[in-house]
C-alpha cells in the first residue's frame, strides 16, 4: 500500500515528498539528535534515497560528523533529514515534520545509552543501546 507522504518545515520554505515505502522508523536518543533538535529524542523514518525529494526550497546543510550531514530549514530551523554525505543509499526523515506524523509508526528505540533519564515513552518497542537495526549515527 504505497502512499505518498508529504512534509515540510515550520515556516513552509522547505517542503519534501516521499514516494517510496519507508524501510523502517524509530526513535533515536543519540546526543547528536538531542543537541541538533534541542529535544530529548528524534523520531526518524528511513527511506531509499530515490524515494525522497525536496519539492520547495532547499535545505541548509550541517556536517554533523565526518561522514554524515543534517538538513534543515535555514529560515526557521526545522530539522528535516539526515544522510551520509557521500553516496547515500538511504535518507532519514524526521517523522514530526510530516504533514501527518501519525502515518508512520516508530518500531524501535536506538542509542538508549544516551537516553535522558527523565524521558520515557509508554511503549514496548525494542530498545537498543547502540545503533541497533539502523545505520543512523552522527
Ligand atoms: Zn522553514
Ligand atoms: Zn540520533
Residue 30 lies in a domain: no
Query: What's the CA-to-centroid distance between 131 and ligand 2, angstroms?
Result: 9
Contact 22, 130 (CB under 8 A): no
Residues whose beta carbons lie less than 5 angstroms from ion ligand 2 = 28, 30, 33
* 128 belongs to a structural domain: no
- On whether residue 129 sits in a domain, the answer given is no
Question: What is the distance in A from the centroid of ligand 2 to the CA of 132?
Answer: 12
Instruction: Give Cβ neighbours of residue 24 (< 8 Å, ≥ 6 apart).
Output: 45, 46, 107, 108, 133, 134
For residue 100, count CB atoms less than 10 angstroms from its CB and return exposed for 0-12, middle for 13-18, buried for 19 or more. exposed
Residue-wise pLDDT for 30-61, tens only, equals 999 999 999 999 999 999 999 999 999 999 99
Domain extent for 99: 5-24+43-106
- Please tell me the pTM assigned to this model: 0.94
Looking up residue 86, the CATH number of its domain turns out to be 2.170.150.70
Does some domain include residue 135?
no
Asked if residue 72 belongs to a domain, the reply is yes
Count structural domains, the chain. 1
Give the ligand at the shortest distance from the Cα of 70. 2
**53 CA → ligand 1 middle, Å:** 16
Assigned domain for 111 exists: no
Amino acid at each position: 500500500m504505497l502512499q505518498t507522504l508529504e512534509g515540510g518545515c515550520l515556516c513552509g520554505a522547505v517542503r519534501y515528498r516521499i514516494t517510496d515505502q519507508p524501510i523502517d522508523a524509530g526513535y533515536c536518543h543519540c546526543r547528536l539528535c538531542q543537541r541538533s533538535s534541542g529535544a530529548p529524542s528524534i523520531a526518524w523514518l528511513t527511506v531509499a534515497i530515490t524515494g525522497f525529494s525536496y519539492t520547495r526550497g532547499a535545505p541548509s546543510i550541517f556536517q554533523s560528523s565526518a561522514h554524515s550531514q543534517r538538513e534543515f530549514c535555514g529560515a526557521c530551523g526545522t530539522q528535516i533529514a539526515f544522510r551520509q554525505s557521500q553516496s547515500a543509499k538511504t535518507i532519514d526523515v524526521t517523522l514530526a515534520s510530516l504533514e501527518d506524523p501519525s502515518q508512520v509508526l516508530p518500531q524501535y528505540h536506538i542509542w538508549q545509552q544516551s537516553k535522558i533519564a527523565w524521558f520515557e515513552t509508554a511503549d514496548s518497542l525494542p530498545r537498543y543501546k547502540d545503533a541497533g537495526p539502523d545505520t543512523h549515527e552522527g
